């Protein structure tokens, strides 16, 4: 692998993380540009390093996916009453960023170039879609709220 290809893989991994992190930062969430940029970069670094040493990249990726769960768990917060959980989307974003970084590390450009924009569409439009769905089907939304609150 040439130096230019290594730089491209690392740069794209970091850029995917930065784009996802910017969305989280603009929504006032606990992770942002630096955190998710670093997660993507680190994932790509470790996958490339293993690939150069002829190691088993699938085992490293498995370790990344398992380990990143701990980082994701660190951003999840329960409300004071313990009935609502916050920042699950941010935790999922941390996990997605690690996966994007790993994909960059193994040179799967298409996955990242297609997946990252889809993720950004979900992050930017998902909330509005949920609000629309709650207005359109209020009975189902009420039922979901009751289940989450433990009142049904």
Global pTM? 0.63
136 in a structural domain: no
pLDDT in tens, 21-74: 888 888 887 778 888 888 888 888 888 877 766 667 788 788 887 877 777 777
Total number of domains in the chain: 1
The pLDDT of residue 143 is 53
Residue 4: how many other CB atoms lie within 10 Å? 8
- Start-to-end CA distance of the chain, whole Å, equals 58
Q: What's 82's DSSP letter? A: S
Tens-digit pLDDT profile for residues 93-148? 888 888 888 888 888 878 888 888 888 888 888 888 878 877 887 765 555 554 44
Residue 14 inside a domain? The answer is: yes
Owning domain of residue 90: 3-116
pLDDT of 151: 44
Residue 90 lies in a domain: yes
């Amino acid at each position: 692998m040439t130096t230019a290809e290594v730089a491209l893989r690392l740069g794209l991994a970091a850029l995917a993380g930065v784009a996802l992190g910017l969305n989280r930062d603009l929504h006032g969430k606990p992770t942002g540009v630096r955190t998710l940029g670093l997660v993507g970069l680190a994932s790509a670094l470790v996958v490339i390093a293993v690939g150069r040493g002829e190691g088993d990249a699938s085992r490293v990726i498995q370790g990344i996916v398992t380990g990143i769960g701990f980082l994701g768990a660190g951003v999840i917060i329960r409300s004071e009453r313990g009935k609502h959980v916050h920042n699950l989307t941010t935790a999922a974003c941390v996990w997605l960023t690690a996966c994007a970084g790993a994909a960059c590390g193994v040179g799967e450009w298409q996955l990242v170039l297609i997946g990252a924009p889809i993720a950004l569409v979900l992050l930017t439009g998902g909330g509005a879609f949920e609000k629309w769905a709650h207005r359109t089907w209020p009975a189902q939304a009420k039922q979901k709220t009751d289940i989450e609150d433990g009142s049904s």
